[in-house]
Amino acid sequence: MGLFGKKEVLIPSGYEQFNKFSEDKERLLCVGSSTTECKHKVEAKVVGGNRHLKLYYPKNRGEKVKKYWLPMFNIYDEHSAMSLFASWIENNDYTTSISEAHSRGVKKEIRKAAQKFGYDDTALLEAADKITTCGAFDLERLGYIVRVCYSLELISEQQAWTCFEILREEAELNFANWDDYIVSFLNGQEGLGTNWYSDTHISYIELRQDSQSFINRYPLA
């Protein structure tokens, strides 16, 4: 039995109302959507977070995230949150390639996830053959971190949207499509040997199978 048992966590109607945005805002939320979907299931047992700017945290879960998770990124307040964002954007690396061994690991993860969902992995494997850099790793993580910081009232809504405008611009400048982008994310994860976001590509495949998901409705190309 999970943190909140087997009961379904219902998102208050106010959150659902708030998270209804115009198309120009929806397209910005593509960055970080896959990580948000998988991480928010873990943190709050809530599904559908990929479409949200303001995430719902049941009971005292939000305070735990603020107390224990955000400090792992040295985030404690508005200043530290925005400083981290600026630093990661400024120092992001779109040129360094991962090793062949790590690339093989990425392809293995793609095949495994695709097989689980009966998903055609051809395009993703083709992307993995050509994309060897990992610049999307920090973009995707920031897309989740910005949501968390806004949801826990560390930054304002305007600051959050400004961050997402930058994230979308960076993604469009550096990647031809979302498959290239998610492979770049996987490259970073594999290269660092981290499993914090290990289900991001699984959520990505799930979202790819949903014709109404933001990444399908708002392609990078």
Residue-range domain boundaries for the chain: 19-217
Q: What are phi and psi of 133, to 5 degrees?
A: -95, 175
* Cβ proximity of 188 and 99 under 8 Å: no
pLDDT at residue 214 is higher than 70: yes
Average pLDDT across the chain, whole number: 93
Q: What is the pLDDT of residues 38-73, one digit of tens each?
A: 998 888 788 889 999 999 998 889 999 999 999 999
pTM score of the predicted model: 0.93
Q: Does residue 17 have a pLDDT over 90?
A: yes
Does the structure show a pLDDT above 60 at 104? yes
8 pLDDT more than 70: no
The torsion defined by the Cα of 121, 124, 130 and 136, in degrees rounded to 10, comes to -160
Question: What pLDDT is attached to residue 154?
Answer: 98
Average of per-residue pLDDT across 4-25: 82
- Which whole-number Å values give the CA distances from 107 to 111, 117, 134, 182, 183, in the listed order? 6, 16, 14, 12, 9
Q: How confident is the model at residue 216 (pLDDT cuts 50, 70, 90)?
A: very high
What's residue 44's pLDDT?
78
Looking at per-residue pLDDT, the higher value among 78 and 58 belongs to: 78
Residue with tokens 């790590």: 102
pLDDT at 11: 82
Ranking 127-136, 151-160, 195-204 by mean pLDDT, the lowest is 195-204
The yes-or-no verdict on residue 1 having pLDDT over 80 is no
Residue 115 carries which side chain, given as an amino acid letter? Q
C-alpha to C-alpha distance for 49 and 53, rounded to whole angstroms: 8
- Residue matched to tokens 């897309």: 143
pLDDT (0 to 100) of residue 47: 85
